Structure 1
Amino acid sequence: MNSGILLVDKPPHLTSHDVVARMRRLAGTRRIGHAGTLDPMATGLLILGVNSATRLLHFLVGLDKEYLATIRLGWATTTDDAEGEPLPVDGAAAALARLDDEALRRGISSLTGVIDQVPSSVSAVKVEGRRAYRRVREGETVELAARSVTVSAFDLRSSRAGEGFVDVDVRVECSSGTYVRALARDLGAGLGTGGHLTSLRRTRIGAFGVDEASGLDDLDVTASLLSPAAAARRTLPVVDVTAQQAGDLSHGKRIDAPEPTVGGPMGAIAPDGRLVAIVERRGETLKVVAGFPDTEAGA
């Protein structure tokens, strides 16, 4: 099995670890990792790395993301999503009765841009070396610090009223590390209704869209594998190197930096189209940050 990137459309009720385990069986290798998890209730795009392409995942984790979500206003929950215990909110019924699209848009606008967000207490954020959700499940009270995140788009798509609640469909574009569950919680808190997430679908990670992804039931691993070079070209600036330079980089040597080059990570592409390494500029040279074996196809 060559190395590469797999785009998978995760179904509901599976953890990201479940998907990785299934891919290990299908691909016949244990060297599979993912670039960011999805909750079991969530669906949509997972990016997996196979064999040496797992080294690319570090450069994919921080990409911006797009989600389609449904937020239920009317009460909060202990987990900020539909899997938690209900938390009634005083005055929620009166606040719902006053709610209209203009109020919704104002509430959404207040959560758009660069904001300070407190992650959900059942998030994967580490507290003194242990995941917050593990502490919560063991009965601990966890208070997480706010962090700066960027919500570049938070669009109201539609809303509909039910018996004692209003469901709001939204589209969110955000920086890595943003919790859509927390947006649901904070929108409900700001409107006085309480709120929690009832559905979540990740539709994009960086330049990779869920429309390119395969479902688990019809996934042909070999046919679906995106080469490390192709993935790098869609994620990072690239620099084309000569065959001699490719050989030097594959042995961990530095090469002269061409002009112009950027300061951050770049994909070094050999004449045969293979990704040789991820490199960074150091003075007048390019230094290997992560290398990729030349025994695996890259184009």
Structure 2
Amino acid sequence: MAESGILLVDKPAGITSHDVVARARRARGTRKVGHAGTLDPMATGLLIVGVEAATRLLTFIVGLDKTYRATIRLGQTTTTDDADGDVDVTASAEAVADVTEERIRDGVAALTGAISQVPSAVSAIKVDGRRAYDRVRAGEEVELKARDVVVSRFEVSAVRHGDGVVDVDVEVDCSSGTYIRALARDLGAALGVGGHLTMLRRTRIGSFDVAGAPGADELEDAELVTPADAARRVLGDLDVTSDIARDLRHGKRVEAPDSFDGPRAAIDPDGALIGVVERRGGAMKSVMNMPEPQPGTAR
């Protein structure tokens, strides 16, 4: 059986997140592989991949906040709100010339904080059971509902004026579910010239960083984050005795420590992840169990 754990992968441009999963399956010799948080084909950067039983942790990882580096091109819109689409509207040279750095920073400030955002129509969101991008490619009109997201940092690092366009390098810290393509689109719309992404790189998910992560072709010997270490970083840990570990694994409720609140990673005396526990009044119960580790396997 393949080793269980979390792979931190630096996805290259030009392939899908599903392509990375397929490569991980071949590299690790198992079909039981999944990922948390899709990256568009154009995008690069951190993709978190679960292997074997550690795929059970992905549901707790996908909702973590994220950091991106991006380049927004002002002066053009595209059919996909990024460089993979066709340019469909080009602003006049006069309008682009009026886009000052001060106006850009004001526009960025207006898109910072708790905002309501309409995702890009060419997205993986399901509409009546089908992906929005499949409906768009089939020629259907797709209108997605606005969603509340939090952009805690939207920082301009450089502004470059080119031939009829302005390229803006930014860094964004945001809640899960935020579309950076939509930020580019909305910034361009607010400035009256249109906008789209020409570069997107995810550098962080929660406490996991892309620094040092292997590429998609380097997964066979890549080091796994153990389930216990991954769960600790995502949820915080709760050390339990062998007797409590046994009861939790058998689905029993046990007395909860007074200090315990919210989901936690329950860790047995050998350092193995038992599962994720939650309070039930004065007791606690496992809401996600991991299989008991075999001798000699990572914990």
Is the CA contact (8 Å cut-off) linking 2:239 and 2:268 kept in structure 1? yes
* Partner residue, 2:245: 246
Task: Give the Å deviation of 1:92.
Answer: 3.9
Is the CA contact (8 Å cut-off) linking 2:24 and 2:219 kept in structure 1? no
Equivalent position amino acid for 2:165 in 1: F
Instruction: State TM-score, norm by structure 1.
Output: 0.96
- Cα RMSD for the two superposed structures: 1.2
Task: Give the Å deviation of 1:298.
Answer: 4.5
Task: Give the Å deviation of 1:125.
Answer: 1.1
Q: d(CA) in 1 for partners of 2:298 and 2:241?
A: 15
* Partner residue, 1:234: 233
**CA offsets 1:166-222 (integer angstroms, 9 cap, x no match):** 11110011000000000000000001111000110000000000004111233344x
Q: d(CA) in 2 for partners of 1:19 and 1:135?
A: 24
Tell me the secondary structure at the aligned position of residue 217 of structure 1. Answer: coil
* Partner residue, 1:273: 271
* Partner residue, 1:74: 75
* Partner residue, 1:117: 117
Equivalent position amino acid for 1:234 in 2: R
Tell me the secondary structure at the aligned position of residue 213 of structure 1. Answer: coil
Tell me the secondary structure at the aligned position of residue 234 of structure 2. Answer: coil
**CA offsets 1:104-131 (integer angstroms, 9 cap, x no match):** 1001001000001000000111111111
* Partner residue, 2:178: 178
Q: d(CA) in 2 for partners of 1:212 and 1:111?
A: 31
Is the CA contact (8 Å cut-off) linking 1:71 and 1:184 kept in structure 2? yes
Q: d(CA) in 2 for partners of 1:247 and 1:163?
A: 67
Tell me the secondary structure at the aligned position of residue 24 of structure 1. Answer: helix
Tell me the secondary structure at the aligned position of residue 211 of structure 1. Answer: coil
* Partner residue, 1:54: 55
Tell me the secondary structure at the aligned position of residue 211 of structure 2. Answer: helix
Q: d(CA) in 2 for partners of 1:191 and 1:145?
A: 23
* Partner residue, 1:258: 257
Equivalent position amino acid for 1:272 in 2: D
* Partner residue, 1:30: 31
* Partner residue, 2:41: 40
Percent of aligned positions with the same letter in both sequences? Answer: 62
Unaligned runs of 5+ in 1: none
**CA offsets 1:226-275 (integer angstroms, 9 cap, x no match):** 1011001111022110011111111111211011111x211000011110
Cα 1:172/1:92, change in 2 over 3 Å: farther
Tell me the secondary structure at the aligned position of residue 181 of structure 2. Answer: helix
Equivalent position amino acid for 1:125 in 2: I
**CA offsets 1:135-154 (integer angstroms, 9 cap, x no match):** 00100000111111000000
* Partner residue, 1:282: 280
Q: d(CA) in 2 for partners of 1:129 and 1:278?
A: 30
Is the CA contact (8 Å cut-off) linking 1:275 and 1:298 kept in structure 2? no
Q: d(CA) in 2 for partners of 1:93 and 1:118?
A: 28
Is the CA contact (8 Å cut-off) linking 1:92 and 1:194 kept in structure 2? no
Unaligned runs of 5+ in 2: none
Instruction: State TM-score, norm by structure 2.
Output: 0.96
Equivalent position amino acid for 1:96 in 2: V
Q: d(CA) in 1 for partners of 2:225 and 2:293?
A: 16
Q: d(CA) in 2 for partners of 1:210 and 1:176?
A: 17
